[in-house]
């Protein structure tokens, strides 16, 4: 089921992320929300295609000619983004259908999530779109991001001027995972594609799983899902995708009450949680527990090009107390503390008393060992390249102590096993800055120590999933 | 067992936090670690007492006269901070005993945590101190903080120039909870006293529980403990303290492996985890799971002066998806979503469709309701003052949208029930800044949404603990 040619439904999902030209329909009055912001940000973020503002009451906006309707635009249009009152949608979509538009992002709300009348309007909209093979994202969505194309359809003002392109693709059923809600600029998070499903009247998790599964620019897929529309089809597709790349899911509704609340949020019914949980596991999908995990765990895959060959983790710390907490975290995610080979342990002990243990605690040695940076680097490389070690979680102070980025670049060059790090420190800005630099080196940094360890546990879990999948053929 | 007069052991624990004069023993060479930094920071942070540098090889340091030994200092000395080689400690402590020093903070390491010889040295040190009723903190510690006295004994350079004084007291068995490792400046975390136990050769969790339990400036006690020296005595003391103020504990070693690792970290044996867990619960001690929780949960107690009368939580959000996640979080910490009274619900629904539910989701109304700030404030107050609501967790964007600090000040003035908030946003600095301002208003802000909800669950748990304790007399 690869991407098909022509204007097949699946091909038109691609138009959401890779449109040649886009039209933006709504008000072009300056403000902090709406079509004006959508068009402005398409220009600001350097969208590689033409942007056509559509509104019968404007002649120009943002230095662009405004057309009365999509039918008046001379060029073909692949994607429209609509930010108008709900009741105008059927008429607008009729015109889009006539124009041959492939996909529409309906930012507007007031549909199935609001009331009965809204639900009927949503049905009408879908009927029009289906007839024209026009795919709809939303309604009630902030749309998509594709950093490789400078595409950002967010109707809220972004406070940061650019993204760091990458291969993590993030989908959600809430705008909170939209680009306007995350500190993607400050953290230099390497995003590939983002998608807010909104009400999922048409395009849903199954479409995105297929599209992102086949997308060579996506190395890991993370999805926040409140429900799964077609469980069986999703699981079948997931089994194929997870053989190639990790699929990580955050699915709330673990309790009866939250499952009930889901109904009123997006107007859809959530299934029985245990059933989901078991089925997802069988399909090789990895489930995480919090929003923070959904965002940060993918870094372990996207920022380095290796998986652990086993579950033996070295905990490399500068605080014994944190090391101990890491053992708890390791046990809770299926990892076990590595025992370095006796000769490695002996060498470490000779350099500094008690260093040949796990956690490997550099703390006491810092003020005592001359040329600490060189020694730290050599020791970490030695521990990681020990045959009894599959991966390592490091704890470091946000000012790097006596070390430099060169220390870590050197370690990364000499080690081809997965590493994660927790940085802590006195200044939030310094921690964020160093964290971004370490991320860039290929040592993904986590905002919590247990998450840094859990990321390796999940990398190990995924290594097993892929191995099993390869054995099955 | 209140604080006794004279030089009783317990009174001398007080000397760790409220010394009149202090002596700092070690090297006064400029650097980023050591006695020089201790003395410098005592001056910089405005310690309210005299500081005596001690070292036979210096005449002056930091503009102060340096004395060859404590015996040469003309004034009485309550507290000494020692940053010298381990082997020098017995001699130094002999002199301190002779001088009548009440307490010593042994920053030096290389004792029981290192090897057999170190363990013997530690025993010798304790023997000398016991005879003189001199209390020892450490060794292998960064010491204490008492913001009310400008007392900071940290041997590492602090990157921020001042603390925000408060009533949260934090103890730990690792320097990572020391003031040099936490962004207390950026977050304006309101710290009262801090204490790093180090090896706990003498002063331990029982002493601190008693001291902080009786300390009128401490409203909540948070402790990271790897072991508990005298379990029975600790539990008896805890039962008394928790009747007055919350005691929150992070105790790693949940797994067999981490319990084993604890042995090598501080040279002491950790007990069976389940036994601890049950006993702590019976004594009214609240156990948390992560370092972040240990630091942030106390804010729910220290930043507002009220406890929930029941477990019914209102989730007040601007994102439906986050609201649903809050219901999961609530169920996991013993809270249940509040059902506002029918007339409140009807009023809310009349203002905006579907608002009279829980989660109360303002999201869809933001672009539509005129004078949003006034309306938001009135609605939140109405929900919180509903008799069916005991507390509320709020979700807000880090730029506050159309609201201002005055909106939240107004809400806080009109509501005497506990609130917490999760702030999210595009800029880390903005989120931190707004978070600090909301903290100051008495609406504690959390770095994760589940933690904001869990804090209320723990506040409810503590309200029950105190009620039961009062019933028992």
Each residue's pLDDT tens digit, B119-143: 999 999 999 999 999 999 999 999 9
Same domain for B295 and B308?
Answer: no
* Mean per-residue pLDDT, B217-233: 93
E-strand ranges in B304-390 read: 312-317, 336-337, 360-361
| Mutate: best of A320, A399, A402, partner B, most B CBs <10 A | A320
* CB atoms A261 and B183 under 8 Å: no
pLDDT above 60 (res B310): yes
Q: Is B110 in contact with B86 (CB distance < 8 Å)?
A: yes
B230 against B68, higher pLDDT:
B68
Taking the C-alpha atoms of residue B464 and residue B470, their distance in angstroms, rounded to an integer, is 10
Q: How far is A436 from chain B (nearest CA, A)?
A: 13
A42 against B163, higher pLDDT:
A42
Query: Within an 8 Å CB–CB cutoff, is residue B196 touching chain A?
Result: no
- Predicted confidence band at B21 (pLDDT cuts at 50, 70, 90)? very high
- Predicted confidence band at A229 (pLDDT cuts at 50, 70, 90)? confident
Partner-chain residue, chosen from B140, B182, B397, that has the shortest CB–CB distance to A426 = B182
pLDDT value for B357: 81
A window 159-188, beta carbon within 8 A of B: 159-160, 172-176, 180-187
Q: What is the CA radius of gyration of chain B?
A: 25
Partner-chain residue, chosen from B292, B324, B354, that has the shortest CB–CB distance to A252 = B324
For B129-160, give one letter per residue: b (16+ CB within 10 A) or e. Answer: beebbbbbbbbbbbbbbbbbbbbbbbbbbbee
* CB atoms B449 and A265 under 8 Å: no
* CB atoms B261 and A327 under 8 Å: yes
Partner-chain residue, chosen from A172, A262, A424, that has the shortest CB–CB distance to B176 = A424
pLDDT above 50 (res B268): no
| In a domain? residue B286 | yes
Q: B173 to chain A: nearest residue by CA?
A: A321
**CA angle (B270, B274, B277) in 5-degree steps:** 90
pLDDT value for A158: 87
| In a domain? residue A294 | yes
Q: B358 to chain A: nearest residue by CA?
A: A261
Same domain for B119 and B149?
Answer: yes
| In a domain? residue B2 | no
Same domain for A57 and A185?
Answer: yes
Taking the C-alpha atoms of residue B70 and residue B59, their distance in angstroms, rounded to an integer, is 14
For residue B451, the surrounding DSSP H or E stretch is: helix B449-472
Same domain for B315 and B255?
Answer: no
pLDDT value for B259: 67
pLDDT value for A184: 87
> With contacts defined as CB-CB under 8 Å, which chain B residues touch A290?
448, 450
pLDDT value for A255: 72
% chain A with pLDDT above 90: 71
pLDDT value for A4: 39
* CB atoms A258 and B328 under 8 Å: yes
The alpha carbon torsion through B428, B429, B431, B433 (nearest 10 deg) reads 160
Q: How far is residue A288 from each of residues A250, A252, B138, B438, measured CA to CA in Å?
A: 5, 10, 39, 30
Q: How far is B414 from chain A (nearest CA, A)?
A: 28
Q: Estimate the share of chain B in helix, then strand, then coil, as percent rounded to the nearest 5.
A: 45, 20, 40
Query: Within an 8 Å CB–CB cutoff, is residue B349 touching chain A?
Result: no
Please count the other Cβ atoms lying within 10 Å of the Cβ belonging to residue A467.
Answer: 12
* Mean per-residue pLDDT, B243-264: 80
| Mutate: best of A198, A328, A331, partner B, most B CBs <10 A | A328
pLDDT value for A55: 98
pLDDT value for A179: 76
Partner-chain residue, chosen from A110, A226, A367, that has the shortest CB–CB distance to B33 = A367
* CB atoms A180 and B110 under 8 Å: no
Taking the C-alpha atoms of residue B287 and residue B167, their distance in angstroms, rounded to an integer, is 20
Q: How far is B6 from chain A (nearest CA, A)?
A: 36
B window 407-436, beta carbon within 8 A of A: 424-432
pLDDT value for B365: 80
* Mean per-residue pLDDT, B370-396: 94
- What CATH code is carried by the domain that includes residue A447? 3.40.50.261
**CA angle (A255, A212, A285) in 5-degree steps:** 40
Same domain for B354 and B267?
Answer: no
* CB atoms B254 and A110 under 8 Å: no
Taking the C-alpha atoms of residue A346 and residue A354, their distance in angstroms, rounded to an integer, is 9
pLDDT digits (tens, 9 = 90+) for A149-202: 999 999 988 888 788 999 999 999 887 777 778 888 888 999 999 999 999 999
Please count the other Cβ atoms lying within 10 Å of the Cβ belonging to residue A251.
Answer: 25
> Residue ranges of the alpha helices (H) in B188-255?
205-214, 231-242
> With contacts defined as CB-CB under 8 Å, which chain B residues touch A454?
none
* Range of the structural domain that residue B468 is part of: 304-472
Q: What is the CA radius of gyration of chain A?
A: 25
Query: Within an 8 Å CB–CB cutoff, is residue A20 touching chain B?
Result: no
pLDDT value for B451: 97
* CB atoms B450 and A253 under 8 Å: no
Q: Which of A5-19, A207-221, A324-338 has the highest mean pLDDT?
A: A207-221
pLDDT value for B347: 83
Q: What is the ipTM of this complex?
A: 0.92
pLDDT value for A365: 80
Same domain for A233 and A126?
Answer: yes
Taking the C-alpha atoms of residue B454 and residue B448, their distance in angstroms, rounded to an integer, is 10
* Mean per-residue pLDDT, A67-72: 98
Same domain for B186 and B335?
Answer: no
| In a domain? residue A4 | no
* Mean per-residue pLDDT, B1-8: 44
Q: How far is A325 from chain B (nearest CA, A)?
A: 6
* Mean per-residue pLDDT, A387-416: 92
Partner-chain residue, chosen from B182, B265, B319, that has the shortest CB–CB distance to A320 = B265
**CA angle (B208, B212, B217) in 5-degree steps:** 150
pLDDT digits (tens, 9 = 90+) for B204-214: 999 999 999 99
> With contacts defined as CB-CB under 8 Å, which chain A residues touch B426?
158-160, 180-186
Taking the C-alpha atoms of residue B228 and residue B208, their distance in angstroms, rounded to an integer, is 12
Q: Is B149 in contact with B48 (CB distance < 8 Å)?
A: yes
B195: left (phi over 0), alpha (psi -120 to 50) or beta: beta
First CA to last CA distance, chain B: 17
Handedness of CA B21, B27, B31, B35 (dihedral sign): negative
| In a domain? residue A217 | yes
Chain mean pLDDT for chain A: 91
- Predicted confidence band at B264 (pLDDT cuts at 50, 70, 90)? low
Same domain for B281 and B312?
Answer: no
User: What is the distance of C-alpha B316 from the center of its chain?
Assistant: 27
> Token pair for residue B118?
């170190």
pLDDT value for B473: 66
- Predicted confidence band at B261 (pLDDT cuts at 50, 70, 90)? low
pTM for the full predicted model: 0.93
- Predicted confidence band at A5 (pLDDT cuts at 50, 70, 90)? very low
pLDDT digits (tens, 9 = 90+) for A318-352: 988 899 899 999 999 999 999 989 988 888 888 77
3-state secondary structure of B467: helix
Taking the C-alpha atoms of residue A85 and residue B464, their distance in angstroms, rounded to an integer, is 49
pLDDT digits (tens, 9 = 90+) for A243-282: 999 999 999 877 776 666 665 555 444 556 777 788 899 9
Same domain for A398 and A278?
Answer: no
Q: B157 to chain A: nearest residue by CA?
A: A426
pLDDT digits (tens, 9 = 90+) for A375-392: 999 999 999 999 999 999
> Token pair for residue A183?
């500190």
* CB atoms A325 and B291 under 8 Å: yes
| In a domain? residue B4 | no
| In a domain? residue A3 | no
> With contacts defined as CB-CB under 8 Å, which chain B residues touch A265?
320-321, 323-324, 361
Residue where a domain stops, chosen among A299, A330, A349: A299
Residue where a domain stops, chosen among A299, A314, A329: A299
> With contacts defined as CB-CB under 8 Å, which chain A residues touch B175?
319, 321, 363
| Mutate: best of B32, B108, B260, B320, partner A, most A CBs <10 A | B320
B246 against B323, higher pLDDT:
B246
Q: Are strands A22-26 and A79-83 parallel, antiparallel or unpaired?
A: parallel
Partner-chain residue, chosen from B180, B262, B367, that has the shortest CB–CB distance to A324 = B262
Query: Within an 8 Å CB–CB cutoff, is residue A29 touching chain B?
Result: no
Residue where a domain stops, chosen among B299, B329, B361: B299
pLDDT value for A130: 96
What is the total count of domains within chain A?
A: 2
* CB atoms A110 and B337 under 8 Å: no
pLDDT value for B353: 72
Query: Within an 8 Å CB–CB cutoff, is residue A352 touching chain B?
Result: no
Taking the C-alpha atoms of residue B405 and residue A155, their distance in angstroms, rounded to an integer, is 25
pLDDT value for B437: 94
Q: What is the 3-state secondary structure (H, E, C) of chain A?
A: CCCCCCCCHHHHHHHHHCCCCEEEEECCCCCCECHHHHHHHHHHCCCCCCEEEECCCCCEECCEECECCHHHCCCCCCEEEEECCHHHHHHHHHHHHHHCCCEEEECCCCCCCCCHHHHHHHHHHHHHHHHCCCEEECCCCCCEEEHHHCEECCCECCCCCCCEEEEEEEEECCHHHCHHHCCHHHHCCEEEEEEECCCCCCCCHHHHHHHHHHCCCCCEEEEECCCCCCHHHHHHHHHHHCCCCCEEEECCCCCHHHHHHHHHHHCCCCCCHHHHHHHHHHCCCEEECCHHHHHHCCHHHHCCCCCCCCCEEEEEECCHHHHHHHHHHHHHCCCEECCCCHHHHHHHHHHCCCCCCCCEECHHHCCCCCCHHHHHHHHHHHHHCCCCCCEEEEEEECCCCCCCHHHHHHHHHHCCCCEEEEEECCCHHHHHHHHHHHHHHCCCEECCHHHHHHHHHHHHHHHHHHHHHHHHC
| In a domain? residue B74 | yes
In eight-state DSSP terms, residue B325 is H
% chain B with pLDDT above 90: 71
A14: left (phi over 0), alpha (psi -120 to 50) or beta: alpha
Same domain for A117 and A211?
Answer: yes
| Mutate: best of A368, A426, A430, partner B, most B CBs <10 A | A426
> Token pair for residue A468?
């099993």
For A115-139, give one letter per residue: b (16+ CB within 10 A) or e. Answer: eeebbebbeebeebbeebbbbbbbb
- Predicted confidence band at B176 (pLDDT cuts at 50, 70, 90)? confident
Same domain for B257 and B332?
Answer: no
pLDDT value for B178: 75
Q: Is A229 in contact with A235 (CB distance < 8 Å)?
A: no
Helices (H) and strands (E) counted in chain B, each on its own, are: 17, 20
Same domain for B339 and B409?
Answer: yes
> Residue ranges of the alpha helices (H) in B192-230?
205-214
Q: How far is residue B145 from each of residues B169, B170, B182, B206, B289, measured CA to CA in Å?
A: 9, 9, 13, 18, 24
Partner-chain residue, chosen from B172, B224, B448, that has the shortest CB–CB distance to A290 = B448
* Of A46-50, A353-357, A395-399, B302-306, minimum mean pLDDT range: A353-357
Which residue has 């995990």 as its token pair?
Answer: A293
Question: Among candidates A411, A416, A414, A417, which has minimal Cα distance to A396?
Answer: A411
B38 against B401, higher pLDDT:
B38
Cis peptide before A398 (omega within 30 of 0): no
């Amino acid at each position: 089921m690869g991407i098909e040619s022509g204007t097949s439904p699946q091909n038109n999902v691609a138009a959401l992320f890779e449109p040649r030209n886009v039209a933006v329909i709504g008000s072009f009055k300056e403000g902090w929300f709406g079509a004006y912001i959508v068009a402005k940000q398409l220009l600001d973020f350097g969208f590689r295609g033409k942007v056509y503002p559509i509104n019968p009451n404007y002649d120009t906006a943002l230095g662009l000619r405004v057309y009365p309707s999509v039918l008046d635009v001379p060029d073909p249009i692949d994607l429209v983004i609509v930010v108008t009152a709900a009741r105008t949608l059927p008429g607008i979509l009729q015109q889009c259908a006539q124009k041959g538009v492939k996909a529409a992002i309906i930012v507007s709300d007031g549909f199935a999530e609001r009331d009965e009348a809204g639900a009927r309007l949503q049905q009408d909209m879908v009927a029009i779109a289906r007839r024209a093979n026009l795919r709809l994202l939303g309604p009630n969505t902030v749309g998509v991001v594709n950093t490789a194309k400078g595409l950002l359809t967010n109707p809220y003002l972004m406070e940061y001027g650019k993204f760091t392109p990458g291969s993590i693709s993030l989908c959600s059923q809430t705008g909170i995972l939209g680009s306007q809600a995350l500190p993607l600029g400050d953290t230099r998070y390497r995003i590939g594609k983002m998608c807010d499903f909104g009400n999922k009247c048409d395009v849903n998790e199954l479409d995105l799983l297929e599209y992102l599964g086949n997308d060579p620019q996506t190395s890991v897929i993370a999805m926040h899902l409140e429900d799964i529309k077609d469980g069986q089809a999703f699981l079948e597709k997931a089994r194929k995708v997870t053989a190639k790349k990790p699929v990580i899911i955050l699915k709330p509704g673990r309790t009866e009450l939250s499952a009930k609340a889901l109904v009123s949020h997006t107007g859809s019914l959530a299934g029985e949680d245990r059933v989901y949980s078991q089925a997802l596991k069988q399909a090789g999908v990895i489930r995480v527990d919090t929003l923070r995990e959904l965002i940060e765990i993918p870094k372990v895959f996207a920022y380095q090009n290796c998986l652990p060959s086993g579950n033996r983790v070295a905990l490399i710390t500068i605080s014994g107390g944190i090391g101990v907490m890491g053992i708890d975290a390791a046990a809770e995610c299926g990892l076990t503390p590595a025992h370095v080979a006796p000769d490695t342990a002996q060498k470490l002990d000779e350099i500094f008393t008690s260093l040949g243990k796990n956690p490997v605690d550099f703390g006491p040695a810092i003020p005592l060992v001359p040329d600490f940076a060189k020694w730290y680097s050599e020791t970490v490389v030695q521990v990681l390249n020990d045959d009894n070690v599959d991966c390592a979680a490091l704890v470091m102070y946000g000012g790097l102590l006596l070390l430099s980025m060169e220390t870590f670049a050197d370690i990364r060059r000499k080690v081809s096993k997965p590493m994660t790090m927790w940085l802590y420190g006195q200044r939030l800005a310094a921690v964020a800055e160093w964290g971004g630099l370490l991320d860039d080196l290929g040592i993904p940094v986590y905002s919590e120590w247990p998450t840094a360890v859990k990321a390796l546990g999940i990398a190990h879990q995924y290594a097993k999933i892929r191995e099993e999948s390869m054995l099955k053929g």
